[in-house]
Amino acid sequence: MKKIHYIALALAVFVLLCRWSVPVAEFYAKVCYPAISAGLSYLASAFPFSLEELSVLLFAALLLFVLVKAVVKKKGLGWWLGKTALVLVWLVVWLYMGWGNNYFRAPLLQRIGIQRQFFSEDRFNQFLYAYTDSLNGSFSKDALPDKSSIEADIKTYYIRELPTYGYASLREWQHPKRPLLNRLYSAVGVSGFMGPFFCETQVNRDVLDYEYPFTLAHELAHLAGVTSEAEANYWAYRFCTQSASPAIRYSGYYSLLPHVAANVRTFMAEEYYAYWMRTVDAQIRADYVAQREHWDALRVDWIDRVQTFLMDKSLKHNGVSSGAKEYNEVVSLIITLQANGM
């Protein structure tokens, strides 16, 4: 067996230990990940384009190459299975050692010793009234600050806040990139993502101005090591709503609106949802309609369904029991943390 195979095997064992042992995952998150993410992103910073998508294409090309070689050279089924397994092992090892092992640490609330507040109508209504007042009061058509300024402000806030909760500090060379396959992400309504291979953040070029600060803050939270979609939404909301910029504050309150609306539909009567939506400022409702129309015009239904299915299965495979629905759990997280003075 070649040395590279032993390296792959050793790293695969470490990945399994992270999955099976919370203390090992905590060691990865606090000790390994800050160094790994700094190194990978520093390497990626030398390139103006995304290395994440190229990494996926490279692994796909390797799998195809192995198949073609097995057929053309008549290598046999055993040779093809062995080589394919080796490529897949390296794919999994890189994905989890680059970022994915963060999934297996204890959730935020467990780490800080807080019990989640389960749904109660009184508690939810109290949140809903306060949120709606803040949302209506935040409406702004002010121009956004320039994007580099927004990025710098997010990093300053996260460097101050997130290490307290066991996350990595962001680095000055870690800048968001534009996806190479931007049209594909728009087809499935993905406004941004954080790549696990080179720890690069990507922001879709089609995001609307009032979506941009929240989207960037969400992806940079992932870069710091946050795996929960609900928690990434929480930190983005926290950053945006404390900003001195009216446009950024509006992005924070507004970007929570779809998740609040989903919670109202889930927990309250349909007529209550209609009543509540009428209490939202008409200009904000117009933005809400415009946002849906914007993304619906770009969306390709069958690709969107496939992507949603795969994302849901991926999240559940990595211990997120609610799958893609976890995005909406940000409301429960906010209620819980606010009740505990956060």
| Domain-ending residue, one of 104, 125, 157 | 104
271 and 160 in a common domain: yes
Residues 79 and 116 in one domain: no
Q: Do 120 and 78 sit in the same domain of this protein?
A: no
Residues 145 and 286 placed together within one structural domain of the fold:
yes
Dist CA 63 CA 313 (whole Å): 22
Domain termination site, one of 104, 133, 165: 104
Q: Could you tell me how many helices (H) and strands (E) the chain has, helices first?
A: 16, 2
Q: How far apart are CA 159 and CA 57, in angstroms?
A: 33
- Asked if residue 179 and residue 43 are part of one domain, the reply reads no
Model confidence band, residue 328 (pLDDT cutoffs 50, 70, 90) = low
Copy the structure tokens of residue 210: 């009032």
Please indicate, yes or no, whether residues 268 and 166 belong to a single structural domain of this protein. Answer: yes
What pLDDT score does 326 carry?
A: 42
Q: Is 80:72 a contact under the CB 8 Å cutoff?
A: no
Q: What is the total count of domains within the chain?
A: 2
Tell me: do 12 and 68 sit in the same domain: yes
pTM of structure: 0.90
Question: What residues make up the domain containing 322?
Answer: 109-339
Q: How confident is the model at residue 298, as a pLDDT?
A: 84
97 with 215, same domain: the answer is no
Instruction: Give Dmax (Cα) for the chain.
Output: 70
Q: What is the mean pLDDT of residues 32-46?
A: 96
Q: Which of 60-74, 107-121, 224-238 has the lowest mean pLDDT?
A: 107-121
**123 and 30 belong to one structural domain:** no
Spatial distance between the Cα atoms of 97 and 182, rounded to a whole number of angstroms: 26
Asked whether residue 84 falls in the same domain as residue 129, the answer is no
**Residue 68 pLDDT > 80:** yes
Q: Which is more confident, 118 or 246? A: 246
Final residue of a domain: which of 104, 119, 151?
A: 104
- Compute CA 78 distance to the chain's CA centroid, rounded to the nearest angstrom: 38
Residues 134 and 39 in one domain: no
- Which residue do the tokens 């692994």 mark? 59
Considering the domain architecture, whether residues 130 and 69 belong to the same structural domain is answered as no
pLDDT over 60 (residue 323): no
Among the listed residues 225, 255, 228, the one whose alpha carbon sits nearest the alpha carbon of residue 239 = 255
